[in-house]
Structure 1
Amino acid sequence: MISIYLTAILKAKKESVQDLKSILDNMVLNTRKEKACEKYELQQSLDDESVFIFHEIWKSKEGLDAHNQQSYIKEFVEKAPSLLEKPAEIYLAKLV
């Protein structure tokens, strides 16, 4: 099994920065408890406070798939269109 490395870049609408940050903070709190989660870091851009970046490491694709079925992730996916300027940019990778 190979670890999955994920980077997600999110750009909030200017009026939604705090609402989005609250949801993302909740995701961090809950996701770090997941068995398959090795790393789940949320960063906020110094240049543009509306930009958030996740750096994640998952033990397996199955673990990432299970993460995406959690209620707090589904809640984010449901609310994202009203909070984000554009869809999240998601990059999946592996070590080479």
Structure 2
Amino acid sequence: MSKLTIIADIRAREDKTHLVKAELLKLIAPTRAEDGCINYDLHQDNDNPAHFIFHENWENRELWQVHMNSPHIANYLEATEGCVDEFIVHEMTHIE
């Protein structure tokens, strides 16, 4: 399978923005060290600080699935339970 692009759209509860951001930042180093991770870049909306986007590229979907089942993702989900209003993951293919 070809390279997989992930756009993860995360909207924190306004009163939990700092907590969610801190937990998202904890994901970066271990994820970038994972097999198959090409890039893993966190962005924060300039007008809405509670809105975050991860732009990710993976060698293939299988290695991304390993990432999604990693201990650091499980720790993030536990730490941010009830703190996120919306979490949408888009699996995409780069066209050009």
| The two structures share one fold, judged by TM-score above 0.5 | yes
Which ranges of structure 1 fall in alignment gaps of 5 or more residues?
none
Tell me the alpha carbon deviations over residues 27-81 of structure 1, each in whole angstroms, 9 at most, x when there is no partner: 0121011121001000000010000000000001110011011111012223444
- Give the structure 2 partner of residue 93 of structure 1: 92
- Name the CA distance, whole Å, in 1 between partners of 2:10 and 2:20: 9
1:59 counterpart letter in structure 2: E
1:48 counterpart letter in structure 2: N
Task: Provide the TM-score with structure 1 as the length reference.
Answer: 0.92
What is the root-mean-square deviation of aligned Cα atoms in Å?
Answer: 1.2
- Give the structure 2 partner of residue 75 of structure 1: 75
- Count of residues in correspondence between the two structures: 95
- Give the structure 2 partner of residue 34 of structure 1: 34
Name the % identity. 24
> Which has the larger strand fraction?
2
- Name the CA distance, whole Å, in 1 between partners of 2:77 and 2:64: 15
Deviation at 1:8, TM superposition (A): 0.8
Task: Provide the TM-score with structure 2 as the length reference.
Answer: 0.92
- Name the CA distance, whole Å, in 2 between partners of 1:62 and 1:85: 27
1:90 counterpart letter in structure 2: V
Deviation at 1:82, TM superposition (A): 1.1
Q: Does 1:15 align with 2:18?
A: no
Q: Secondary structure at the match of 1:82?
A: coil
